[in-house]
Structure formats: structure tokens, C-alpha cells
Amino acid sequence: MLVEKLQNLSDAFGVAGFEDEVRGVISDMVSPYVDSYEMDPLGNLICSRDTGETVMLDAHMDEVGFMIRWIEEDGFLRLTPLGEWDERILLGHRITILTRDREKCLGLIGIAPPHILEPEEKKKVVSLANMFVDVGAKTRKEAEEMGIHLGDPATIHYPFQVMREGYVTGKAFDDRAGCLVAIEALRILSEEQLPYRLVVNFAVCEESGLRGAKAAAYRIAPKLALALEGTIGADIPGVPEAKQPVRLTKGPAITLADRSIIVRPRLVRFLEEVARQEGIPYQYKLPAYGGTDAGTIHQERGGILTGVVSVPCRYIHSPISMLILSDLEETIRLTVAFLRRAGELL
């Protein structure tokens, strides 16, 4: 069941600023477990239950992607990034373009064959500005007749798969893994009475500047918040251990500091204590890589006590990511245990 839920989330289209499809998937999943949910003007999905002082969970719906920035006269497309991509790995991949009519068109990030390149050209990294997308159109008019316009979003999409028992691959685990942690926490706690108001924000536009969470945190006005992420698993050949932000199979990662927040030691110690008492394995995300919605949440409303717990995922911000289900399951356990005791911090 957990695998099926992650597959539905991963395969949903949700480029930053265009999260409608994934928001629909999440709405269907959470509706039995909350008292109310609504979409704010930016597109955040805000789900609430119980009353009292507010504890906020945040997980962002959006994924890194692209926007069509130009259509050439000969029908080829040009892209601009929505989020941070490594340009070294983009060439030759298939992309999915979402049109205004909600249709999906396939394209290919084209590349000149090596047979016609000079030796020095083969060594160069091609910038995104010089890449093109081939959608099989011979003219600009033909591309437009396919429903493609300037401003349409696109992403590289390889379908979710179980690679082997316990290991899964798919796109957008940053942060569909975090979304699933939040959804499962709501499900598990749905029959329990919490001593506070729990609000879960499924945020838009994290990959384009933490924008959704900023507006949501101001609106929700929590006393305590926890951001849930899929983060940088780098336990791979060629990366020394001291530069591996997190490692797979080691359980959820507790953030100490990243480029957007220094987590208050009080909250770090609390998460450590909860994990130890519940027998949950955990690790630290090495400082100070990356950033999350916690970076903007903790600065709202005069300051909000905010932490980050993440699911280790290899190859985020690439066409396909990998995670281990045991890490996902342990992150759910830690989040649920934290919520059961979160009243102690209010």
C-alpha cells in the first residue's frame, strides 16, 4: 500500500507553479483524515484538524522542471529551468510537456550525435540555453497546433518502478516522499485526540524560492513547525563520507543546519529523545547542504520554532531518484512519535 501511494505521488505532474495534478492526488488521500482542507490563493493545500495552539507540518508538492521559453520557426523548443538542475545530465532525456488543455506531449532534449562533433566539443558541458527540445514538429505553427505555447511547464518523467524488494525509483521523491510522510502521519493519528490544532501544509513553489511555505506559515501562524523533505543521499562511489549529507539505510535525517536555517538545539534534542525512546534509527543531515521550507517558515510571525526531518533519497534533482522503503517507514514513525509529544514544546 505504501508503495502504491508513493507511485501515485511520484508519477503525478507537479512542476513548481503547476502543482494542480499532484494537489488533486493528495486531496483524495488526506480527505478522510482531516476536519477541513482548502487551497489558498497561491495553490498551497492547507489541511486542518482539532483545535488549540497550532503545530504545522510542511511538505512541498512541487518538483524541479522547466518552462517553454521559445518556439523556433522550425518547431524546436527552448527551455528555462524551474528549480535547480545539473546541466551535465539533461541531454538525451525524454520530457513531458503539460499544455493549457491539460494534455501531455512528449519531447526529447536533443543532442548532436558524437559522429559529427569535433573532439573538443565532446568534452564540453552544453548549457541549458543552448539545448533544444524535439517534439516532432516541423514548424512553429505545427508545435502550436499540438497545443504547445510559451509558458507551458515540462519535466523529465520516467515512471515509478520497484527496482528490487525494498528499493524503489521514480521522479520527484524530493518532495513526494515528504508528502507521503505527512499523509501517513494524518492517517495513523486520525483516531487520536491531539492536545493542539494540527495543520499540514502541502506547499507550492519550494523549488523556486520557498514561496508557498512563506505565505502559508504567515496564514497558519503556528507555534511549532516541522518540515518534511526528501534529501541528499550521497553514499556513492567517489564521495568521501565527510561529504555525504545523508546515507541510505540509516533512517530519517535530522537537520542541524543548512543554508536556510540553523535549527534550535532544543528542537534537535527533542527529536533525538523521541527517536531514542521509540527505538527509531536516525542520522544527522550534515551541515550545511541544501535548504528547505523551514528556512522561510521559521522567520514568520516573529519567529517559529521549526525543525526538519528528511527521507534519504539518492539522485534528487535528476531525472530519476532512489529510496529505500525502510527509511521512508522509519521517517513516518519518527514524525508520528514527534506529533504525539509535540504538545510538550508548546
pLDDT value, residue 117: 79
The dihedrals phi and psi of 334, each to the nearest 5 degrees, come to -65, -40
Q: What is the mean pLDDT of residues 126-154?
A: 95
Binned at pLDDT 50, 70 and 90, residue 208 comes out as very high
What tens digit of pLDDT does each residue of 229-243 get?
999 999 999 999 999
pTM of this structure = 0.96
At the topology level, CATH places domain 65-155 in: Elongation Factor Tu (Ef-tu); domain 3 (2.40.30)
pLDDT value, residue 248: 97
Locate CATH 3.40.630.10 in the chain: 2-63+171-345
C-alpha cell at 37: 482542507
User: At the top level of CATH, which class does the domain 2-63+171-345 belong to?
Assistant: alpha beta
Q: Give the span between the Cα atoms of 344 and 79, in whole angstroms.
A: 49
Query: Can 73 be counted among the known catalytic residues?
Result: no
- Residue 205: other Cβ atoms inside 10 A: 26
Locate CATH 2.40.30.40 in the chain: 65-155
Angular region, 315: left φ>0, alpha ψ -120 to 50, beta rest: left
Q: Give the span between the Cα atoms of 206 and 228, in whole angstroms.
A: 12
Which is catalytic among the residues 19, 63, 206, 330?
Answer: 206
Q: What is the mean pLDDT of residues 248-258?
A: 97
What tens digit of pLDDT does each residue of 261-291 get?
999 999 999 999 999 999 999 999 999 999 9
Amino acid at 285: K
Question: Which whole-number Å values give the CA distances from 203 to 94, 148, 346, in the listed order?
Answer: 27, 27, 23
pLDDT value, residue 122: 77
Binned at pLDDT 50, 70 and 90, residue 310 comes out as very high
